[in-house]
Structure 1
Amino acid sequence: MAPMGIRLSPFGVAVFCLLAIGILYHIYAGVISSRLAAFSQRKSINLRELLAVSVEAAVLGGKQVIKVREENGLKEKSKGETKEGAKELLTMGDLLSHRKMFNLIRNTFPEITVNSEEHDNVVDGSILWSRDIPADILKKIEGRKEVPADSITVWIDPLDATQEYTETLVKYVTTMVCVAVGGKPVIGVIHQPFTGFTAWALVDQGSNMTPRSSYSVSPPKVIVSRSHSGKVKDFIHDAFGNSTTIIQAGGAGYKVLSLLQMPPSEKEPIDQADVYIHITFIKKWDICAGAALLSAHGGRMTTLKGEDIDYSGTPLNKGGLVASVGIDHQAILEKLPNWDPDKQ
């Protein structure tokens, strides 16, 4: 007699199929979900659009800075002191500018990391990008360049030169946005709220700025911080001689603009310097936008030892900085005396 086979009822077949599907789900669900997560993290961001949003954010923040200053509603308070003993101030201008700039960028590109000098829990989903790309950006920047969202770090300074802002020295005040890709600054925006001028650059693609036609290096005019001068004068005289001109100014953004050619239409002239030097700690949101602007024109911003600055990770740059464009950056570095900002 032939062996008898096992016959399943339609109900049994259905149960068997469900069990098989369940087993396959548990086996592959983890793989599928991890691949979907990886795919979402690899979302690409268009750099021309990100540049346009950065410009719009800097201008939007600048309007808040002006409004608070004109209404005399600063309400300044101290956030503490720097390592050198200078007060770090927070005003309503800083805070309201931060809210506009931070929310605009995050609402437009929620996938990217945004670091701001100020911290605030106010979330405003109504602050949206206008979808406008300025004509000069459309003309100079090609629209096909995209990078993975998870490679981007954005640094915002909602109000650079807060001390000078409280003293009504508004020519030093800027709002800044920088985009770093893989730790390297590629987009820099420096906006001057009280003149309305906005400097921008996308490295290797274009900018609305240019270097000046000539620079002096024997000795150079060196621009430094008026609020963190400390021992910098002796440091610079040791490097370039006692006849070196030292310009004291507020705001890292302003100091970078002093190295470049400002448009002749600008009614408010700014200082012209050949080198920007800072010998103590400084935050990355202060310097990243300037680094991108200089890099777009063949310039450099390094530590005092000539090291490139990584614009990812923690916000503190401990190595000081030297910034230049249109001159031999290495020759400047070689004249600097040995100096360790961490031991000062």
Structure 2
Amino acid sequence: MGASIDERKPMVSGFGYASHSSSGIGSAHFRGRGRSHAPFKTWIWRHWPLLMVGSFGAFYLIHRLSHMGSSTSAPKVTSQSAQQLRSDSSRVQNGKVRLSDLIGASIHLSEVAAHEITDVKFGGKEATEVKGKTDEGVDEPVTLADARSNSVFVNGLRELFPGISILSEETDPDLEEVGISAINGVELTHDPWLDLKDILITVDPLDATKEFTENLLHFVTTMVCVVHKGKPIAGIINEPFVKDEAAVWGVALDKATEGADLRVSHGLQPSTEDTVAGADKVVISRSHTGSGADVVSEYLPGKQPVFAGGSGYKALRVLEGDANAYVHVTKIKSWDVCAADAVVHAAGGKFTNLKGERLVYEKDDPLISGGIIAAADSKMHAWYVEKLAPFLSSHGDKQRI
């Protein structure tokens, strides 16, 4: 494209100053046009092709120069991200973004996405398809609600944070304007400005899709997680079908990477039951079970498996006292657990693999291996790590964890 612009420059500048001997009008003749009183209309008529070419050349040059400023070295999420860079709603400043803006935007988008999800369900417009099978051979459905929610989150994040890296369970949506004019920020005692290049946002636009199609709507959540250099530092979990409940969100920062130690959780609801009732319960997946039920029975004395859908739902049950722990013994994807990980740690709990190690979240490798243990109490978490060590050493490879 640069060569074509250069070719037009002589044409634009030459119209007023260069000699065009082939036309019979030299530079001296052209500059003396006023003194000779040559008929202006006649001159225009004779040279209209030159005028047309010059005008189009000038227009093209101006158009190209006006768009050169839209190029940027910001991280590119998808082929559509370049179109996002001209967003009037951008919260990015000098390549940095404020944590409270990321959280506030995610809460707002969760509410918009929840409306889309409930609209699809109550309007009977699910349009369910099967996108594949789990490792356990269970169909993985996807619905119109997944697609609509995904479009809200991905396009909304692009609109507010141009160039940000996004890892979503669903495919890249068509570019649409969400139309966010303002977001309600959240107040944090430590609110760092983070380099955009160090941020990854994971999105599960509809967790527990299988349960959604089976009308087990209490399992359904949406989940957004803010990852900084591989570590989840903020999570937002929303329950679209739980009335009058705001999104649950939490922040977990540490001094080494974010400049301050901070644990903040918001929106958790105490269990309406006696918390002792959940002391012997371990929630496991009802659709990605593997040998989860047998593992609980064999390796966790005194505990009973409770089947539930959605990682977000299971994490909330642990934090609200309805279950003692959440255990998962097969592979799982980043978007399924990242927000739950952040919220559990923000509330003072532990969320690790079966070895007790923190999980790392990477854009290019969404698969989480090694299983999951989540507990609200660090001592109980250590008990689960100890009890599950024999299972991990003898069955790990067989369970593909």
* Cα shift readout 1:263-295 (whole Å, capped 9, x = no counterpart): xxxxxxxx8101000100111101000000011
**C-alpha separation between the residues in 1 aligned to 2:314 and 2:107?**
19
1:186 deviation in Å? 0.7
Output the TM-score relative to the length of structure 1.
0.79
Q: How far apart are the structure 2 equivalents of 1:170 and 1:82?
A: 21
- Structure 1 pair 219/165, CA: closer, same or farther in 2 (3 Å)? closer
Secondary structure of the corresponding residue to residue 293 of structure 1: helix
| SS of equivalent residue, structure 2 residue 327 | strand
- Secondary structure class of the residue paired with 1:319: coil
Change (3 A) 1:144 1:200: closer
Deviation at 1:232, TM superposition (A): 1.0
User: Corresponding residue for 2:315?
Assistant: 256
Match of residue 312 from structure 1: 362
CA distance in 1, matches of 2:303, 2:143: 35
Structure 1 distance, partners of 2:94, 2:331, is 34
Please state how far the C-alpha of 1:120 moved relative to its aligned partner. 3.1
Match of 2:56 in 1: none
Query: What is the aligned partner in structure 2 of residue 232 from structure 1?
Result: 292
Q: Please report how far the alpha carbon of residue 228 of structure 1 lies from its aligned counterpart in structure 2 after TM superposition.
A: 1.9
Corresponding position: 1:324 with 2:375? yes
- 1:1-344 pair list within 5 angstroms: 43-124=95-176, 126-133=177-184, 137-138=186-187, 141-142=188-189, 144-196=191-243, 197=245, 198-203=247-252, 204-209=262-267, 220-241=280-301, 243-261=302-320, 272-313=322-363, 314-328=365-379, 329-336=381-388, 337-339=390-392, 340-344=395-399
Classify the secondary structure of the residue corresponding to 1:190.
strand
1:103-140 per-residue CA deviation (whole Å, 9 max, x = no partner) reads: 0011111132001100034001x213342316xx33xx
Offset, 1:72 = 1.0
Q: Is the contact made by 1:299 and 1:325 (CA closer than 8 Å) also made in structure 2?
A: yes
The number of aligned residues is: 294
Contact 1:174 1:193 (8 Å CA) reproduced: yes
Alpha-carbon distance, 1:231 to partner: 1.2
Structure 1 residues 180 and 127: alpha-carbon distance in aligned structure 2, compared to 1, 3 A threshold: same
Separation in 2, partners of 1:37, 1:115 = 19
User: Structure 1 residue 218: deviation in Å?
Assistant: 11
Q: Cα gap change, 1:341/1:69 in structure 2, threshold over 3 Å: closer, same or farther?
A: farther
Amino acid at match of 2:300: F
RMSD between aligned residues: 2.6
Q: Distance in 1 between matches of 2:157 and 2:396?
A: 33
Structure 2 Cα separation of the partners of residues 178 and 209 of structure 1: 16
Question: What are structure 2's unaligned runs of at least 5 residues?
Answer: 1-71, 75-91, 253-261
Higher relative helix content = 2
Aligned equivalents of 1:216, 1:322: Cα separation in 2: 20
DSSP 3-state at the match of 1:202: strand
State which structure, 1 or 2, has the greater radius of gyration over its C-alpha atoms.
Answer: 2
Which of 173-182 and 143-152 deviates more? Answer: 143-152
Segment of structure 1 superposing worse, 300-309 or 62-71:
300-309
Fraction of identical pairs, as percent: 35
Amino acid at match of 2:200: T
Q: Secondary structure at the match of 1:94?
A: helix
SS in 2 for 1:258: helix
Preserved CA contact (<8 Å) 1:215 1:274: no
Distance 1:116 1:154, change over 3 A: same
Q: How many angstroms does 1:233 deviate by?
A: 1.4
Q: Per chain length, whose mean CA-contact separation is higher, i.e. which structure has more relative contact order (CA < 8 Å, sep 6+)? A: 1
Output the CA distance in 2 between the equivalents of 1:343 and 1:211. 38
Name the amino acid aligned to 1:234: D
Alpha-carbon displacement from aligned partner over 1:145-186 (angstroms, at most 9, x marks no partner): 211111111000010000110011100000110011011111
Q: 1:321 to 1:42 in 2, by over 3 A?
A: farther
In structure 2, how many angstroms separate the alpha carbons of the residues matched to 1:330 and 1:218?
18
Secondary structure of the 1:177 match is strand
TM-score relative to the length of structure 2: 0.68
Q: Distance in 1 between matches of 2:209 and 2:348?
A: 30
Which is further off, 78-87 or 212-221? 212-221
